[in-house]
Amino acid sequence: MGPNRAMKLGVAFRGVIVILSVVAVVAVLHGADIGYGPDDLKRWADTEIRGHGLAGLLIFVAAGAFVTGIGLSRQLLSFAAGYAFGAVSGTGVALLAEIGGVILAFTYARFLGRALVARRYPGRVRQVDGFLRVNPFLMTLAVRLLPISNNLAVNLVAGVSSVPAIPFFTASAFGHLPQTIVFAMVGSGLTDGLFEKSAVAVVLFIVSVWIGLHLYRKYRQDKTFDPVIDAALDLPGQADTPNNPPRP
């Protein structure tokens, strides 16, 4: 097996482990008859969201946009959405909340926190700006499909960069969709078909990672989004300097 193929498998393997870990935890909790997930999250969904119609949906979207906007797990949000609304509706609700979070962080960085973000990530801003400027939609999509980028850092640094907002938001939605489907399916499997849905989720995740890898390698034009990603894919990257730190 060549080094490039091994690196690709390693990237996908890490994401699959996350999915299988969630499935294992759910299965253990179910077998122990102590609930289907983290008690606080399940209780919140049961008391505040499920059965509350439009009000519950709006509360979920607003809360989800806030927590993902400040950098908390969008995968956990998708899991909760799948439990509260089912796989299909949960995917849509979670995705809406996630993009709300993207917009919040991006807008904060662009209009309110530019000096703070630029001072915190000076080299990363230049690096990401050069990378996304090649093709804002496709390069954002590639980064979102890969499971090894920091969601909050991407939103903040992109907000400070010159990347146009609409292509960034649109590509983020498409790029978030596969993992949102994956974790919503696992969450919806709390009540029925956990392992069948999880198997489909793993296949979908692997396909989405492959697409992200293909786009990243084909369209990067020797630009570097993150040295960690380049190292994982065995790609040559730009040299790190004191003003161009390897990672936020």
Q: How confident is the model at residue 19 (pLDDT cuts 50, 70, 90)?
A: low
Let me know if residue 237 belongs to a domain: no
Res 241 pLDDT > 50:
no
Domain membership of residue 174 as a residue range:
3-232
Let me know if residue 182 belongs to a domain: yes
Let me know if residue 243 belongs to a domain: no
User: How many independent structural domains does the chain possess?
Assistant: 1
Which pLDDT does position 15 carry in this prediction?
52
Average pLDDT in the chain:
76
Residue 148 phi/psi, 5-degree rounding, is: -125, 20
Let me know if residue 248 belongs to a domain: no
Q: Find the length of the chain.
A: 248
DSSP type of residue 71: T
Residue range 167-174: mean pLDDT, rounded: 95
Let me know if residue 11 belongs to a domain: yes
Res 116 pLDDT > 70:
yes
Residue range 92-111: mean pLDDT, rounded: 93
Please state at what angle helix 165-188 crosses helix 3-31, rounded to 10 degrees: 50
Which 3 state secondary structure label does DSSP give 207?
helix
- The more confidently predicted of residues 206 and 167 is 167
Let me know if residue 196 belongs to a domain: yes
Let me know if residue 245 belongs to a domain: no
Q: How confident is the model at residue 191 (pLDDT cuts 50, 70, 90)?
A: low
